[in-house]
Amino acid sequence: MRFTVIDNFFCEELGSEYVAGLSYEAREEDVALRALIPRWIEEGKVREGGPRSEVMGSGDVADNAGEK
């Protein structure tokens, strides 16, 4: 399960710091971490999924080949 941190926070239960903007992977064997993620989502500390691109634009690329 991948999650991305919204705001920096320290987790006392795990003794770990989580940094805003970074995404983390909770593996199958990370039972304690996986149990905490739903609570963190409710608290607004993290969101499910990986990082999102902050690039804005239409995605159109002008073809300027041959123009001077």
DSSP one-letter string for the chain:
-EEEESS-EEETTTTEEE-TT-EEE--TT-HHHHHHHHHHHHHTSEEESS------S-------TT--
- pLDDT tens by residue, 15-62: 999 999 999 999 999 999 999 999 999 999 999 998 776 655 555 555
Domain boundaries in the chain? 2-48
Global pTM value: 0.73
Closest listed residue to residue 2, CA positions, set 23, 22, 17, 31: 23
Check residue 65 and give its pLDDT: 58
- φ/ψ (deg, to 5) at 9: -160, 160
For the cut 60, the answer to whether the pLDDT of residue 12 exceeds it is yes
The pLDDT assigned to 63 comes to: 56
pLDDT of residue 61: 58
